[in-house]
C-alpha cells in the first residue's frame, strides 16, 4: 500500500493522510489529497469488497481502479463516488475486477479545511477483500508514473519532469526545453507556446511617494515556451501610478503595505488612522473592496484529487478592484479562497425561539464561465463542520449575497471555484479561461479587523480601568440615528432584532397572537382574537 500526498503550499502533508488505527485505517482529508493505493494481480476475474464509514460530506471521497495501462475499469462512474453512511454505520461496496494487474486507489481531500477550525470526521476503511488472486504471493510491477529499486516495499511517484512505464526501476527525464511532466507522470507532454494565461500581473509595494506599478510574472512552475514565434511575450513593466487607497479600517504601514488601524482608531482607507472622538466607539469589521494584495487573515489554496492537479501556488490573484481565480491548475481542481474570523462582538440571543443575528458576511461576485462551472460559499467553525451556505452553477452576472451569522464562534469562510465537475467529459479549450471574480467582502461586528467609523455612544461612556466603553441603550431600545443619540423603546408588540440597533427598523413585529411590552421578547397572553370578532380566553387553562 502506498500513501501519497498532493502537497498544498505551506502545509506539512505528512501530518495528514491515511493512518492505521488498529482495527481500521482512516483519513481526515485535511488540506492535502491523500491516496491509499493497492496493486494486485488477478489470475482470473475477481471481486473487490471493501467496508467503509463515510459520514462527513465536507470530505471528497473517491475510488478508482485501473489496469496496467492506466485505463479505468468498466462502469467506473458506478463505483467512483462511495455513498455517505449514517453516523457509526458501515457500508460495504463491491467492484468487479478483470484478470491481470489492477491498481486500486482510495482518495480523500478536505474541503474548506483550516487549522483554526474543527477537523472533519474521518473516512474509515476496516476491511478489504479481493478474490481471484494467485495462491502464492508475488511482486506486482509498479504502475506507470512510479518506480522502485530492487527489494523495495513501495513504489515511489516519479518527480516532476520525469516519467516511467509500468514496472520501472527508475524514472526517465523529459527534454527540459520542449517537454514537461507533472509528478507521477507516465509520459512527457509537449510544452505549448506561452499565452496570456501563462503569466499574471501584480502591483509592486508602494514607494516613498505612494506610487506603484504593475509587473508581470510567469506562472510557476512554468510549462510554456517563450522561445517560439507563436508565443506571447511577457509584457514590460508599466509606468508608475498612484497607489490605491487601503481598505476601510486600514492604513499604509511603512508607506508600502496596508495594515489594520490600532485599537480604538478608525480610517476610511484613504487617510491615516485617527483615534475615535469622545463618547464614540469603533465599529470593527472587515471591509475588503480594494485588492492590491491578499488582505491579512485571508489565504488561497488549490485542492485536487489528482496527482499534479495543483501545479501552481498562485490560486486567487489580487487584481486591483477585484480578486480572481487563476489558470494553470487542472480543470476539476477546487480553487479556494479562505478568510479566518476569530469571532463576533455581540452575545448570542434567542428571540421567539430563533437565533438572532450577531454579524453579517456579504460579498459581490461574478462568474464568467463557458460551461457548468461551480462556485460554492461555505463556512466552518470550532463547533460545526464545514457547511455549504449557497452555491451557483454556470455563468452568473455580477451580484451581491449576504448571510447572517447567529452563533458566536471562530469561523473560516470559504469561496471555492471549480471549472469542471469531477467526471465531466469536456475539453480544456472550452473552459480553461473560466474565472470567478470577487469584488468586495464585508464582515460586520467582528472582534478583530479595523474600524471604518466610530459610532456615537447612546448614553456616553463608562470607565473600564484606563479604557472607556460605550453605555448602550437599555434592553429593548434602539438609537434613533447617528445624529440623535436619544434611545427609543420598541413599539408595543415588537422586539429588538438587530445586534447594533439603530432606527425603528431594528424592531420586528411579534406576529399574530403574540404580545410584547418590553421590546425584548414576545409571548402569548392566552387570549385569541379571530378575524370575525370571535374571542377565546384561555388563561384559565394555564393555571
Of 99, 133, 167, the one marking the end of a domain is 133
Query: Does one domain contain both 284 and 415?
Result: yes
Cβ-count burial 458-482 (b if 16+ within 10 Å, e if not):
bbeeeeeeeebebeebeebbbbbee
Answer whether residue 458 shows pLDDT above 50.
Answer: yes
Q: CA 215, CA 210: separation in Å to the nearest integer? A: 16
**Taking residues 298-313, what's their average pLDDT?**
79
| Cell numbers that stand for 170 in this block | 527508475
Report pLDDT for 10: 55
Query: Does one domain contain both 415 and 490?
Result: no
Of 444, 463, 489, the one marking the end of a domain is 444
CATH number of the domain encompassing residue 431:
2.60.120.430
Answer whether residue 317 shows pLDDT above 80.
Answer: yes
Q: What percent of the chain has pLDDT over 90?
A: 30
In this structure, is residue 281 part of a structural domain?
A: yes
Q: CA 497, CA 404: separation in Å to the nearest integer? A: 12
Q: What is the pLDDT of residues 374-430, one digit of tens each?
A: 999 998 887 777 788 999 999 999 999 999 999 889 999 999 999 886 555 555 556
Query: Does one domain contain both 523 and 401?
Result: no
Query: Does one domain contain both 330 and 432?
Result: yes
Q: CA 4, CA 14: separation in Å to the nearest integer? A: 9
Report pLDDT for 1: 47
Residue 56, domain extent: 19-133
Of residues 247, 243, 252, the one with CA closest to residue 442? 247
Domain count, the chain: 3
In this structure, is residue 262 part of a structural domain?
A: no
In this structure, is residue 218 part of a structural domain?
A: no
Q: What is the pLDDT of residues 179-210, one digit of tens each?
A: 998 888 889 999 999 988 788 888 888 888 88
Query: Does one domain contain both 332 and 416?
Result: yes
**What is the residue-wise DSSP string for 100-144?**
EEEEEEEEEEETT--TTSPPPPPEEEEEEEE-SB-SS--PPPPPT
Query: Strand pairing of 435-444 and 323-325?
Result: antiparallel
Of 102, 118, 133, the one marking the end of a domain is 133
In this structure, is residue 88 part of a structural domain?
A: yes
Amino acid at each position: 500500500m502506498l500513501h501519497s500526498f498532493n502537497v498544498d503550499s505551506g502545509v506539512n502533508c505528512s501530518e495528514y493522510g491515511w493512518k492505521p488505527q488498529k482495527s481500521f485505517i482512516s483519513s481526515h482529508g485535511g488540506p492535502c489529497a491523500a491516496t491509499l493505493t493497492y496493486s494486485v494481480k488477478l489470475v482470473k476475474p475477481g471481486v473487490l469488497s471493501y467496508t467503509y464509514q463515510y459520514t462527513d460530506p465536507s470530505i471528497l471521497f473517491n475510488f478508482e481502479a485501473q489496469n496496467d495501462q492506466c485505463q479505468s475499469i468498466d462502469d467506473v462512474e458506478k463505483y467512483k463516488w462511495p455513498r455517505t453512511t449514517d453516523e457509526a454505520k458501515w457500508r460495504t461496496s463491491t467492484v468487479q475486477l478483470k484478470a491481470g494487474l489492477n491498481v486500486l486507489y482510495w482518495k480523500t481531500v478536505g474541503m474548506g479545511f483550516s487549522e483554526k477550525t474543527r477537523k472533519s470526521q474521518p473516512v474509515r476503511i476496516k476491511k478489504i477483500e479481493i478474490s481471484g488472486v494467485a495462491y502464492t504471493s508475488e511482486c506486482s510491477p509498479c504502475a506507470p508514473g512510479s518506480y522502485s529499486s530492487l527489494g523495495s516495499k513501495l513504489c515511489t511517484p516519479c518527480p516532476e519532469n520525469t516519467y516511467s512505464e509500468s514496472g520501472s526501476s527508475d524514472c526517465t527525464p523529459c527534454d527540459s526545453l520542449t517537454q514537461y511532466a507533472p509528478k507521477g507522470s507516465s509520459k512527457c507532454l509537449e510544452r505549448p507556446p506561452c499565452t496570456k494565461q501563462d503569466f499574471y500581473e501584480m502591483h509592486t509595494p508602494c514607494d516613498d511617494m505612494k506610487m506603484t506599478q504593475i509587473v508581470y510574472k510567469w506562472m510557476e512552475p512554468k510549462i510554456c515556451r517563450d522561445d517560439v514565434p507563436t508565443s506571447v511575450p511577457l509584457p514590460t513593466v508599466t509606468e508608475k501610478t498612484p497607489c490605491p487607497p487601503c481598505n476601510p479600517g486600514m492604513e499604509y504601514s511603512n508607506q508600502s503595505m496596508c495594515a489594520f488601524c490600532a485599537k480604538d482608531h478608525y480610517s476610511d482607507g484613504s487617510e491615516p488612522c485617527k483615534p475615535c472622538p469622545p463618547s464614540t466607539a469603533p465599529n470593527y469589521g472587515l471591509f475588503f473592496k480594494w485588492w492590491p494584495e491578499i488582505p491579512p487573515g485571508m489565504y488561497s489554496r488549490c485542492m485536487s484529487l489528482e496527482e499534479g492537479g495543483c501545479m501552481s501556488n498562485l490560486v486567487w490573484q489580487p487584481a486591483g478592484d477585484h480578486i480572481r481565480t487563476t489558470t494553470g491548475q487542472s480543470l476539476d481542481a477546487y480553487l479556494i479562497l479562505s478568510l479566518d474570523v476569530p469571532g463576533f462582538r455581540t452575545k448570542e440571543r434567542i428571540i421567539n425561539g430563533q437565533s438572532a443575528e450577531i454579524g453579517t458576511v456579504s460579498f459581490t461576485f461574478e462568474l464568467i464561465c463557458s460551461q457548468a462551472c461551480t462556485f460554492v460559499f461555505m463556512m466552518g467553525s470550532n463547533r460545526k463542520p464545514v457547511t455549504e451556505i449557497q452555491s451557483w452553477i454556470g455563468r452568473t452576472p455580477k451580484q451581491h449575497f449576504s448571510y447572517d451569522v447567529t452563533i458566536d464562534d471562530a469561523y473560516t469562510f470559504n469561496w471555492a471555484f471549480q471549472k469542471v465537475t469531477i467526471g465531466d467529459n469536456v475539453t480544456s479549450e472550452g473552459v480553461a479561461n473560466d474565472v470567478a471574480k470577487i469584488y468586495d467582502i464585508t464582515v460586520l461586528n467582528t472582534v478583530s479587523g479595523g474600524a471604518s467609523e466610530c459610532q456615537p455612544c447612546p448614553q456616553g461612556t463608562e470607565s473600564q480601568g484606563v479604557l472607556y466603553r460605550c453605555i448602550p441603550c437599555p434592553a429593548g431600545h434602539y438609537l434613533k440615528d447617528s445624529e440623535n443619540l436619544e434611545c427609543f423603546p420598541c413599539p408595543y408588540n415588537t422586539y429588538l432584532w438587530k445586534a447594533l440597533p439603530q432606527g425603528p427598523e431594528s424592531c420586528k413585529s411579534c406576529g399574530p397572537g403574540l404580545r410584547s411590552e418590553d421590546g425584548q421578547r414576545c409571548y402569548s397572553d392566552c387570549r385569541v382574537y379571530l378575524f370575525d370578532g370571535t374571542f377565546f380566553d384561555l388563561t384559565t387553562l394555564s393555571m
